[in-house]
Chains A and B, each alone.
Chain A
Amino acid sequence: MDFETALHVLIELAGAIWVTLALAAATLPLGFVLAAIATWARASRRRILRMIASAYVLSFRSTPLLVQIFVLYYGLSQFAWLRESPAWIVLKEPFACAVIAMSLCTGAYTAEVMRGGLAAVPKGAIEAARALGLSPLKVLFLVTVPIAARRALPAYSNEIVVTLKATSLASTITVMELTGVAKDLMSQTFAVIQVFCMVAAIYLAINTILILALRSLELYLTPLHERPRSRSEIAWKKAPA
């Protein structure tokens, strides 16, 4: 690959990084909210809410993301009444469709992460808080959620990396993010391996930054007496992802 091609490739990729990051940045908060709603509904007293939430989590976890994206983007265009409704302003946009589908998908997985975190909260801590006379809402926000958040953080950081990789599927519905641009560059320049290495390096760099940030957040949330004593100890406790 000569210098000119390399420069061309780099400029193209640099522009696409932002699309990838924008997709992830839009998807993650939406997915988080969906997961919180699903988690709340699954713990609800009403059977119908529990059933709906469980069906949501099960169905979105058991179908491939690509199917979900295509149902939303290509599938819904089948209905004329939908094409004439105001919702079409959003649904005709590939970017919005990708974000909605990915949010629904990561929401289902994150709901599972949240459930795991909540299950890891020791019963004794909740009983102790109740015995101190805290109201159920205060117990939830002062005791249950902080402990659960810390316990769920490693699994959630994993889910963030999965979501980042999932943004690549947006390229199948014409959103030109990193992988889509990489595909075009591979077929234009024939420098297949070079382009792959550059894109892989970008993904790995983003992953690493995210993982390190979340690991330090986890450390920050851990009470002092539970913190590992030295940095090397942290490195030992956690194998690289």
Chain B
Amino acid sequence: MAGDASLLEILAWGDQGWSRPLLVGLGVTVACASLGYILGIALGFGLALAKLGRNRWIAAAANVYTTVVRGVPPLLVIFLLFFGTNGALMWIARGFGYTGYIEVDAFTVGVMAVTLVSASYSSEVFRGAYATIPEGQFEAFAALGLRPFTGLCLVIMPQMFRLALPGLGNVWIMAIKETTLLSVISLAELMRVVGLAGRTTGQPFVFYGAAAVIYLVLVAVSSRAFVAAENRMRWG
């Protein structure tokens, strides 16, 4: 099909080539994934606290949330947010007396989707990490005379994050992969750009192949980084 010259041409930098749009798309992908991931971890930590806490109703609510979000396809969550957010926001706004039209853009929906899914998975990671901390650690800080809250903050949580790191690495990789689904709600991330490029140039295989390589590199670099972080945090 395509000779080498034309391949170089379409992948080149500049007005004719597709390098710049691809890079912009990659930027959107990484921005959406990392924003959603960070918010998701924060929310996931809160959910984990809710599950471990004493209030049975809050724990049950957190468990239901996790079960539902982990049990349905991420694509369904994206559609829920895509079709549901505007209506929900307008409904809330109407309660405050605002009757105008509110529209949330695809990027916000994307970040929300990544946040909700990452939160449910990371909450389980945090809970698992908490469960593997030996009983002796709790007894030890109590024996040192630390109050429960201080002990949890100074003794348990640092260990929790260290134990959670491998699981959080998996959640990050899932977040990257989930952003590809956002192309269906026309967020101009890498997959969307690649699809457009493929249709315009008539070489979809080249561009989807390029996307596969880019994601492969992204995932490989991320998992290296997480392994390095784990090694740094290891004791002894």
Q: Decide: B75 and A168 in contact? CB cutoff 8 A.
A: yes
Q: Decide: B87 and A169 in contact? CB cutoff 8 A.
A: no
Whether A67 is near chain B, meaning CB under 8 Å from some CB there, is: yes
Q: Which of A78, A203, A207 contacts B206 (CB 8 A)?
A: A78
Proximity string of chain A (174-209) to chain B, C-beta cutoff 8 Å, 1 when within and 0 when not: 000011001100110010110010011001100100
Q: Decide: B205 and A66 in contact? CB cutoff 8 A.
A: no
Bound Cα distance A79, B195 (Å): 16
State which residues 73-110 of B face A: CB under 8 Å. Answer: 73-76, 79-80, 83-84, 87
Q: Decide: B215 and A63 in contact? CB cutoff 8 A.
A: yes
Q: Decide: B71 and A67 in contact? CB cutoff 8 A.
A: no
Residue of B with least CB distance to A196: B80
Q: Decide: A200 and B72 in contact? CB cutoff 8 A.
A: yes
Bound Cα distance A197, B83 (Å): 14
Bound Cα distance A192, B109 (Å): 15
Whether B220 is near chain A, meaning CB under 8 Å from some CB there, is: yes
User: Could you say which interface size class chain A belongs to?
Assistant: 35 or more
| Minimum C-beta distance from B65 to chain A (A) | 12
For B208, what are the chain A residues with a Cβ–Cβ distance below 8 Å? 67, 70-71, 74-75
For B84, what are the chain A residues with a Cβ–Cβ distance below 8 Å? 186, 192-193, 196
| Minimum C-beta distance from B220 to chain A (A) | 6
For B76, what are the chain A residues with a Cβ–Cβ distance below 8 Å? 168, 178-179, 182, 196, 199-200, 203
Q: Decide: B67 and A71 in contact? CB cutoff 8 A.
A: no
Whether B229 is near chain A, meaning CB under 8 Å from some CB there, is: no
Residue of A with least CB distance to B205: A75
Whether A21 is near chain B, meaning CB under 8 Å from some CB there, is: no
Whether B34 is near chain A, meaning CB under 8 Å from some CB there, is: no
Number of A-B pairs, beta carbon distance below 8 Å: 118
Query: Can you add 20 more A-B contacts, CB < 8 Å, to A75-B204, A171-B75, A186-B84?
Result: A59-B216, A63-B212, A64-B180, A64-B215, A66-B181, A66-B191, A70-B208, A71-B205, A75-B208, A75-B209, A78-B204, A165-B71, A169-B73, A179-B79, A182-B79, A192-B80, A192-B83, A196-B84, A200-B76, A203-B71
| Minimum C-beta distance from B166 to chain A (A) | 15
Whether A68 is near chain B, meaning CB under 8 Å from some CB there, is: yes
| Minimum C-beta distance from A208 to chain B (A) | 8
Query: Majority SS of interface residues in chain B?
Result: helix
Residue of A with least CB distance to B2: A78
For A187, what are the chain B residues with a Cβ–Cβ distance below 8 Å? 83
Q: Which of A59, A78, A193 contacts B203 (CB 8 A)?
A: A78
Q: Decide: B71 and A204 in contact? CB cutoff 8 A.
A: yes
The 8 closest A-B pairs by CB, nearest first: A168-B73, A75-B205, A192-B84, A64-B177, A62-B219, A165-B73, A78-B205, A66-B180
For B79, what are the chain A residues with a Cβ–Cβ distance below 8 Å? 179, 182-183, 186, 196
For A44, what are the chain B residues with a Cβ–Cβ distance below 8 Å? none
Residue of A with least CB distance to B124: A239
Whether A65 is near chain B, meaning CB under 8 Å from some CB there, is: yes
Proximity string of chain B (1-37) to chain A, C-beta cutoff 8 Å, 1 when within and 0 when not: 1000000000000000000000000000000000000
Bound Cα distance A158, B80 (Å): 24
Q: Decide: B72 and A165 in contact? CB cutoff 8 A.
A: yes
- Could you show 22 A-B contacts with beta carbons less than 8 Å apart? A62-B216, A67-B191, A68-B212, A70-B208, A70-B211, A71-B208, A74-B195, A75-B205, A78-B1, A78-B203, A78-B205, A80-B1, A165-B73, A165-B74, A171-B75, A179-B75, A192-B84, A193-B80, A203-B71, A203-B76, A207-B71, A240-B67
